[in-house]
Copies of this chain bind each other. A is one copy, B any other.
Amino acid sequence: MHILSVADDMVPAARGDEASTLMAGKIMASLFFEPSTRTRLSFAAAMNRLGGRVIGFARPGGTSLQKGETLADTIRTVESYCDLIAMRHPQEGSARMAAEFAEVPVINGGDGAGHHPTQCLLDLFTIQKERGDIGDNKVALIGDLKYGRTVHSLAYALALFKADLTFIAPEQLQMPHEVVEECQEHGASISFETDLDAAIEDVDVMYVTRIQKERFPDPEEYKKVAGIYTIDTDLLRHAKSEAIVMHPLPRVYEISAEVDDTSAAAYFRQAFNGVPVRMALISLVAGVIS
Contact = CB atoms under 8 A, between A and B. Distances in A.
A145 to B, nearest CB: 19
Contacts of A41: 29, 55-57, 78, 81
A286 to B, nearest CB: 10
B24 A48 contact: no
Contacts of A83: 16
A26 B16 contact: yes
A69 B27 contact: no
Nearest to A273: B80
Nearest to A269: B80
A263 interface: no
A105 to B, nearest CB: 13
A45 B29 CA distance: 9
Contacts of A198: none
A27 B48 contact: yes
A269 B78 CA distance: 11
- Copies of this protein chain in the complex: 3
Contacts of A238: none
Contacts of A57: 37, 41, 58
Interface residues of A, number: 53
A13 to B, nearest CB: 8
Contacts of A76: 268, 271
Nearest to A72: B257
A19 interface: yes
A73 interface: yes
Nearest to A55: B44
Interface in A3-35: 16, 19-20, 24-27, 29, 35
Contacts of A67: 210, 250, 252
Q: Which of A54, A55, A275 has the most CB of B within 10 A?
A: A55
Nearest to A19: B25
Interface in A250-275: 250-252, 268-269, 271-272, 274-275
Interface of A: 16, 19-20, 24-27, 29, 35-38, 41-42, 44-45, 48-49, 51, 53-59, 61-64, 67-69, 73-74, 76-78, 80-83, 210, 249-252, 268-269, 271-272, 274-275
